[in-house]
Chain A
Amino acid sequence: MTTACKGFLDEQFLQLEELQDDANPNFVEEVVTLYYRDSARLILNIEQALERNPLDFNKLDSLMHQFKGSSSSIGAKKVKAECTLFREYCRAGNGEGCIRTFQQLKKEYATLKKKLEAYFQLARQVGPAETACRPK
């Protein structure tokens, strides 16, 4: 995990890296790509749900639960933290808090995406041997 991603990713990301092997040399990148593609749909659903009036907190909580599960599986630490906060607001019935948190979440989500893209690019340039030697 590059230091650039420090704080943004947790040990789960390391787990993914460990799974990468000769048989699946681009495993991590594949997973991350899949995550961004699938979560884009979830984000859209949440946005739509946030536009309703009144807000359906149960639905929001449920959607966010899915999103959180996905994000945690790739080790997206900050995104996950925002998800947790969002769910707390849902349980408290705090629509304002939800909307605010969601904006923050989207920011973190976008930032992480950029960082990971850069990371993969770097990894490709450096070559598989180098990336494999990453300290755990």
Chain B
Amino acid sequence: MNLNNGKGSMSTASSSAAWKAGDVVPDQFPAGLRVLVVDDDPTCLMILEKMLRTCLYEVTKCNRAETALSLLRENKNGYDIVISDVHMPDMDGFKLLEHIGLEMDLPVIMMSADDGKNVVMKGVTHGACDYLIKPVRIEALKNIWQHVVRKKKNEWKDFEQSGSVEEGDRQQKQSEDADYSSSANEGNWRNSKKRKDEEEEAEERDDTSTLKKPRVVWSVELHQQFVAAVNQLGIDKAVPKKILELMNVPGLTRENVASHLQKYRLYLRRLSGVSQHQNNLTNSFISPQDATYGPLSSLNGLDLQTLAATGQLPAQSLATLQAAGLGRSAVKSRMPMPIVDQRNLFSFENPKLRFGEGQQQLSSSKPMNLLHGIPTTMEPKQLANLHHSAQSLGSMNMQVNAHGGQGGQGDSLLMQMNQSQARGQILNESTGSHVPTLTSSMGQPVLSNTVVGGVLARNCLAENGRGTRYNPVSHSSSMLNFPLNSTAELSGNSFPLGSGPGISGLTSKGTFQEEVNSEIKGSVGFMPSYDIFSDLNQHKSHDWELHNVGMTFNDSHQNNSLQSNLDVGTSVLSHQGFSSTQRTGQNRNISAVGKPMFTAGDTTDHVNAQNVGPINTFFTDNSVRVKSEFVPDASCETNLFPEQFGQEDLMSALLKQQQGGVAPAENEFDFDGYPLDNIPV
């Protein structure tokens, strides 16, 4: 069957690590499929292992979710698929599922003796690609390879849709790979494959993460188009098909729109939740919030922006800041205290960042705290996506903000954002001067996600170019993250926040899958998180939250600065999202998260900072949550963010969410308890 052929070519061409690793002999597919099976029951584990071996798969078994995660993290491309039990003592199977989705984006199959509808539904909403009822029969295991193939196929397709089209014919050789996909998609596949490769390369080049999946990049413009379409239809009546028609973007599929819409809705929902919290984005961002980070928004907004502006801030820093601001929810503290550093960043950065805005509030050094919550571990992958451009940053910011609102959920989103930011640091480039300073100063460790910092920086940068508005926020956020890596990392998304008003367009990317380069444009600080998310994609559920949050900023800030913030935020967010896992690698994660908030406008920028806080929490736990959320609520349209808000609201929303119960599953954020002010470095 074609499959074999496809596989062969797939293995060579596809980015999937699995094949690249050369573990599988293409022609023998699915033999050699590398499966990781996780179950605390030794009897089941033994039986499953034997069954999988009989299917000629390469099996690795572990009886603890934590072990599984570390195995996956250490060897990113070492596995093709994961099978996990639902009930495990050390971690809920769904949480593990979310983490894997966010960080590694591998297909995950859940299994349980429990066949209740609710549990199975939970599997679906958390993104499991299948659900097996125990006792598992070998026949059920024989076909699990289909999930691996399907995922790759979808990635290509997404990639193809993404706005960032990289050159195109590289992958011609892969066209044959498309054979096995449905004929209808062949064309897509080819293109997407090309893109995917492109993307992969770019990602690899860009950043440490090895994100291999192509995603639709929701650039700021694209997002704006999307939001315009949604607003035109009315948020309640906005259905993907109609939105697609209104947008009239060639190459965009209904699925892309649908997933983006989901994110956007979550984002809006978050905003509505968040808006209650923070009313003032201004300054709070920088102000040293006490350990719990109170409203990150203030901090976030300012600092992040500045950071973002400078573009230097590694996405991670932002994330850290955000996390800090967010109040660091259970993050595991992966993030090194970037907060402390961030502060520095902010302080000096602020002056620099002032891009056009007077507001730079960044001067307040606090911001770093924001990132606390943000999971710094952005996935490298995501970061890679980030590089897509400054836009992503913007989006990221937004996203971040969005998360804030969502509270917790955003983890993944944040992460993505961060990542995207990190990746996208494109912004840096644009602004040039600012950014560099940031990064250097930043040093903030905050998030291991250096990427985040970068991203933020990028975001800021992008903004700067745009308008006066702000980027500062973004910078700050980036600051937070940056420390870790060089700000430039922000590669990826940088979302060009678009100086325009309101990011509205940003509607979170929702499933990170796309690289949203969102330009956060309009919205204030919201980080176009969605870009980030898209990068992160897979985090799907998580991302949304963040994105959405950011997006709402639009209203409030229209100031330019916001945009930058947004970017930052997103990056932060993205980072956050990832952070949990990434820590090791990427550090990027968190930074993004925190940030989105700050970009919101000048005054509101602070919001970012504040938002960050919640974002962290958001992310930390969220990984799990986000996924399930999807939500369609969209009714929030909210403009929750009153002018300033943006970030604050987000942050608060995020915080709320986090507190809501997000169990910190593995947030790597480490942000716990960092007071905004004192970000212990």
Q: Are A34 and B137 in contact (CB under 8 A)?
A: no
> For the complex, what is the distance from the CA of A65 to the CA of B85, rounded to whole Å?
12
Q: Are A73 and B42 in contact (CB under 8 A)?
A: no
Q: Are B41 and A73 in contact (CB under 8 A)?
A: yes
A64 → chain B closest CB, angstroms: 10
Per-position binary interface string of chain A over residues 5-38, scored 1 when its CB falls under 8 Å from any chain B CB and 0 otherwise = 0000000100110110000100100110011001
Contacts known (A15-B137, A31-B46); A72 close to B87, Cβ less than 8 A? no
Query: A-side binding surface: helix, strand, loop or mixed?
Result: helix
Which of B47-55, B416-424, B460-468, B576-584 lies at the interface?
Answer: B47-55
Contact of A31 among B47, B136, B138 (CB under 8 A): B47
B277 → chain A closest CB, angstroms: 33
Q: Are B113 and A38 in contact (CB under 8 A)?
A: no
A62 on the interface (CB 8 Å rule)? yes
Contacts known (A15-B137, A62-B87, A65-B87); A70 close to B50, Cβ less than 8 A? no
Q: Are B50 and A38 in contact (CB under 8 A)?
A: no
Q: Are B134 and A72 in contact (CB under 8 A)?
A: yes
A84 → chain B closest CB, angstroms: 10
Q: Are A70 and B44 in contact (CB under 8 A)?
A: yes
Query: Closest residue to B137 on the A side, CB-wise?
Result: A15
B114 on the interface (CB 8 Å rule)? yes
Query: Closest residue to B54 on the A side, CB-wise?
Result: A19
What chain A residues lie within 8 Å of B113 (beta carbons)? 65, 68-69, 72
Q: Are A70 and B41 in contact (CB under 8 A)?
A: yes
B112 on the interface (CB 8 Å rule)? yes
Q: Are B135 and A38 in contact (CB under 8 A)?
A: no
> For the complex, what is the distance from the CA of A27 to the CA of B50, rounded to whole Å?
9
B142 → chain A closest CB, angstroms: 13
A interface residues, how many (CB within 8 angstroms): 23
> For the complex, what is the distance from the CA of A77 to the CA of B43, rounded to whole Å?
16
Indicate the member of B44, B51, B135, B136 with the most A CB atoms within 10 Å.
B135
Per-position binary interface string of chain A over residues 29-63, scored 1 when its CB falls under 8 Å from any chain B CB and 0 otherwise = 01100110011000000000000000000000010
Q: Which residues of B, 331-382, contact A by the 8 Å Cβ criterion? A: none
Query: Closest residue to A24 on the B side, CB-wise?
Result: B50
Contact of B47 among A16, A38, A62 (CB under 8 A): A16
Contact of B41 among A18, A19, A69 (CB under 8 A): A69
> For the complex, what is the distance from the CA of A18 to the CA of B138, rounded to whole Å?
10
Contact of B138 among A15, A35, A65, A73 (CB under 8 A): A15
> For the complex, what is the distance from the CA of A66 to the CA of B137, rounded to whole Å?
18
Q: Are B44 and A69 in contact (CB under 8 A)?
A: yes
What chain A residues lie within 8 Å of B42 (beta carbons)? 34, 38
> For the complex, what is the distance from the CA of A18 to the CA of B44, rounded to whole Å?
16
Contact of B134 among A19, A31, A35, A69 (CB under 8 A): A69
B337 → chain A closest CB, angstroms: 38
A75 → chain B closest CB, angstroms: 7
What chain A residues lie within 8 Å of B54 (beta carbons)? 19
What chain A residues lie within 8 Å of B44 (beta carbons)? 69-70, 73
A74 on the interface (CB 8 Å rule)? yes
A36 → chain B closest CB, angstroms: 9
What chain B residues lie within 8 Å of A16 (beta carbons)? 47
Q: Are B114 and A38 in contact (CB under 8 A)?
A: no
Contact of B135 among A34, A65, A75 (CB under 8 A): A75
What chain B residues lie within 8 Å of A69 (beta carbons)? 41, 44, 85, 87, 112-113, 134-135
> For the complex, what is the distance from the CA of A12 to the CA of B134, rounded to whole Å?
10
Q: Are B51 and A19 in contact (CB under 8 A)?
A: yes
> For the complex, what is the distance from the CA of A27 to the CA of B51, rounded to whole Å?
11
> For the complex, what is the distance from the CA of A38 to the CA of B114, rounded to whole Å?
20
> For the complex, what is the distance from the CA of A70 to the CA of B42, rounded to whole Å?
8
Contacts known (A12-B135, A69-B134); A35 close to B114, Cβ less than 8 A? no
What chain B residues lie within 8 Å of A39 (beta carbons)? 43
Contacts known (A72-B113, A73-B134); A31 close to B87, Cβ less than 8 A? no
Q: Are A66 and B135 in contact (CB under 8 A)?
A: no
Indicate the member of A24, A72, A73, A75 with the most B CB atoms within 10 Å.
A73
Contacts known (A65-B87, A69-B41); A19 close to B138, Cβ less than 8 A? yes
A68 → chain B closest CB, angstroms: 5
> For the complex, what is the distance from the CA of A65 to the CA of B41, rounded to whole Å?
11
Contact of A30 among B46, B114, B137 (CB under 8 A): B46
Contact of A72 among B51, B135, B138 (CB under 8 A): B135
Q: Are B50 and A19 in contact (CB under 8 A)?
A: yes
> For the complex, what is the distance from the CA of A74 to the CA of B114, rounded to whole Å?
16
> For the complex, what is the distance from the CA of A15 to the CA of B135, rounded to whole Å?
10
What chain B residues lie within 8 Å of A66 (beta carbons)? 40-41, 87
What chain B residues lie within 8 Å of A62 (beta carbons)? 87
Per-position binary interface string of chain B over residues 101-116, scored 1 when its CB falls under 8 Å from any chain A CB and 0 otherwise = 0000000000011100
Contacts known (A72-B134, A72-B135); A65 close to B114, Cβ less than 8 A? yes
What chain B residues lie within 8 Å of A27 (beta carbons)? 50
Query: Lowest 8 CB-CB distances: which A-B pairs, in order?
Result: A69-B113, A35-B43, A72-B135, A73-B135, A12-B135, A73-B44, A19-B50, A70-B43
Q: List 5 A-B contacts (CB under 8 A).
A: A12-B137, A34-B42, A34-B43, A72-B113, A74-B47
Tell me the A residues contacting B by CB distance below 8 Å.
Answer: 12, 15-16, 18-19, 24, 27, 30-31, 34-35, 38-39, 62, 65-66, 68-70, 72-75
